[in-house]
Amino acid sequence: MGVLDHIINFFTITTNTTHKKKSMQTVEIKVKMDCDGCERRVKNSVKYMKGVKTVEVNRKQSKVTVNGYVDPNRVLNRIKSTGKRAEFWPYVPYNVVYYPHAPQAYDKRAPAGMVKNVPQAQLPPNATEEEKFAYLFSDDNPSACSIM
């Protein structure tokens, strides 16, 4: 900062209202879209929101990805205002989950290679390092070491 910046700070009026700057986020939402019109309506509903940088729509996966300085709940509500049923993206890749065959984790409508992210499919937080490493070579893990 130069001398001029310090002088300007003395003469500016400061207010006590501080705005919390939003961080750059990626919001993924599951929306059932049947046609080009549905896809266009969903895309246009969030494209002009303040802070949105990019909007990607994948109709085959029923997925909308929004990047920008936005609030995820506001994006979800804006998509719901189009009349479509929407929810946050509930799926994760099956090789990230410790127990992909746990009850309620498998969803036949999920995209290929994805399962629902449910607490039953996660390793307990108090699991020891040995259990975590044993899972890497387990027969239950489809991405386990193939040397064995």
Domain 23-88, CATH: 3.30.70.100
Read off the pLDDT of residues 49-73 as tens digits, 9 standing for 90 and up.
999 999 999 998 899 999 999 999 9
Contact 66, 80 (CB under 8 A): no
Residue 135 has a pLDDT of: 59
Read off the pLDDT of residues 68-123 as tens digits, 9 standing for 90 and up.
999 999 999 999 999 999 999 888 777 666 666 666 677 777 787 787 776 655 66
Alpha carbon distance 4, 113 (integer Å): 58
Is 41 exposed, middle or buried, given 0-12, 13-18 or 19+ CB atoms closer than 10 A?
A: middle
Handedness of CA 55, 118, 113, 82 (dihedral sign): negative
Q: For the chain, what are the domain ranges?
A: 23-88, 91-135
Neighbours of 34 (CB within 10 A): 10
